[in-house]
Structure 1
């Protein structure tokens, strides 16, 4: 289920180290995943830079930092042949990663943000690639 309300970022609840670990652990799984790995490997040229960018993104979402500079929507819209199953797989792997966190508040917040982001990116992708169709929501409960 896509959350209607996402908790406010709070730098007092999570450390930069926790955010960085979440990002690195998630991408370690995603890169090995048979459906997501090839997509990431084809489009991420510099993994060190990607880790910095994703850590900055998640730090902004979870801690309220202002280091992130970027526009995720156009980058995802530019990818060919994405589908709901891929977004749901991304969410599933993300939730598997957050289950391993020792901070339950971080898990809850990160999962809510991830569900919101996945839904927004999927809706934007559909509106861009299939403007004649009514967008269909992700079945995030099954992710």
Structure 2
């Protein structure tokens, strides 16, 4: 695996219950966060549907299921006034959540995927919203 690749999903290593717990526990933290919470509360209209969508997304990433239907990049690009600090805070809360789940294999896999996604979304956000500026990497070090 290179520094910029996503690990292969492993359907036998993680349960749907673990994926669901990851999603619900993460958003419980994110919704309380002073920087992230207001953004989520303003833009997520139906939390039940969002939980289903995010559980499907993370199940696809971690377990290889094929239920996820969506395009995350355009939705994130459309959000006003995002910055690198918000993406880093999202990732910090995500990694805190994976640690608390107690499955080190899931933690390593999910954290690698989340780091990759945060970096890609930040680059896409910059390229779309600041086309005249050189995009910056979210992390100076390799993932």
Structure 1 length normalisation: TM-score? 0.94
SS in 2 for 1:100: helix
CA RMSD of aligned residues (A): 1.3
Structure 2 residue aligned with 1:55: 55
1:99-126 deviations in Å (ceiling 9; x for gaps) = 1012110000000000000000000000
Separation (CA, whole Å) in 2 of partners of 1:66 and 1:13: 17
Paired residues for 1:1-143 under 5 Å: 3-139=3-139
* Structure 1 unaligned residues grouped into runs of 5+: none
Question: Are 1:87 and 1:122, in contact at CA under 8 Å, matched by a contact in 2?
Answer: yes
Question: Are 2:35 and 2:86, in contact at CA under 8 Å, matched by a contact in 1?
Answer: yes
Residue 140 (structure 1) shift: 7.3
After TM superposition, which residue ranges in structure 1, 4 or more long, deviate above 3 angstroms?
Answer: none
Question: Are 1:10 and 1:63, in contact at CA under 8 Å, matched by a contact in 2?
Answer: yes
* Structure 2 unaligned residues grouped into runs of 5+: none
